[in-house]
Amino acid sequence: MRRGPSVFNRISIGAGLVFLYAPILLLMIYSFNDSRAVNVWAGFSTRWYTALFRDSQLMGALWITLRIGVVSASIATVLGVMAAVALARGGLFRGRTLFSGMVYAPLVMPEVITGLSLLLLFVAVGLDRGFWTVVMAHATFTLCYVAVVVQARLSTFDTALEEAAQDLGCPPWRAFFAVTLPNIIPAVAAGWVLALILSLDDLVIASFTSGPGSTTLPMRIYSAVRLGVSPEINAVSTLLIGAVAVGIAVYGSVSRRRTAPARA
Partner 1 sequence: MAAIAPYLWLGMLFAFPFLLVFKLSLSDVALSMPPYAPKFDPGNIGRFVRALDLDTYGRLVSDPIYIKAWLSSLKIAAISTALLVLIGYPIAYGMARCSSGSRQLLVLAVTLPFFTSFLIRVYAWVAILKPAGILNAGLHALGLPPVAVMNTDAAVYIGMVYAYLPFMALPLYAVLEKQDESLIEAAADLGATPFRAFWTVTFPMSLPGVAAGALLCFIPIVGEFVIPDLLGGSSTLMIGKTIWTEFFNNRDWPAAAAAATALLITLVVPLMLYQRQQARVLR
User: Using CB under 8 A, which residues numbered 128 to 147 contact partner 1?
Assistant: 136-137, 139-141, 143-144, 147
Helix (H, G, I), strand (E, B) or coil at 33: strand
How far apart, in whole angstroms, are the C-alpha atoms of residue 110 and residue 66? 24
Cα radius of gyration (the chain): 22
Going by the DSSP 8-state scheme, the letter that residue 38 receives in this structure is S
User: Using CB under 8 A, which residues numbered 48 to 77 contact partner 1?
Assistant: none
* Helical H segments across 31-130, by residue range: 47-54, 56-89, 96-108, 111-124
Q: Residue 167 CB, nearest distance to partner 1 (Å)? A: 19
How far apart, in whole angstroms, are the C-alpha atoms of residue 145 and residue 150? 9
Total of residues contacting partner 1 (CB under 8 A) = 91
Q: Residue 197 CB, nearest distance to partner 1 (Å)? A: 6
User: Using CB under 8 A, which residues numbered 81 to 120 contact partner 1?
Assistant: 82-83, 85-87, 89-90, 93, 95, 97-106, 108-114, 116-118, 120
Instruction: Give the phi and the psi of residue 33 in degrees, each rounded to 5.
Output: -80, 135
Alpha-carbon dihedral angle through residues 116, 121, 124, 128, given to the nearest 10 degrees: -90
User: Using CB under 8 A, which residues numbered 146 to 175 contact partner 1?
Assistant: 147, 151, 155, 172
183, 201, 211, 255: residue in contact with partner 1 (rule CB under 8 A):
201
Q: Considering beta carbons, is residue 70 or 136 the nearer one to partner 1?
A: 136
51, 178, 248, 254: residue in contact with partner 1 (rule CB under 8 A):
248
User: Using CB under 8 A, which residues numbered 203 to 242 contact partner 1?
Assistant: 203-204, 207-208, 218, 221-222, 225-226, 229, 233-234, 237, 240-241
246 binding partner 1? (CB under 8 A): no
CA 233 → CA 76, 190, 249, distances in Å? 29, 28, 24
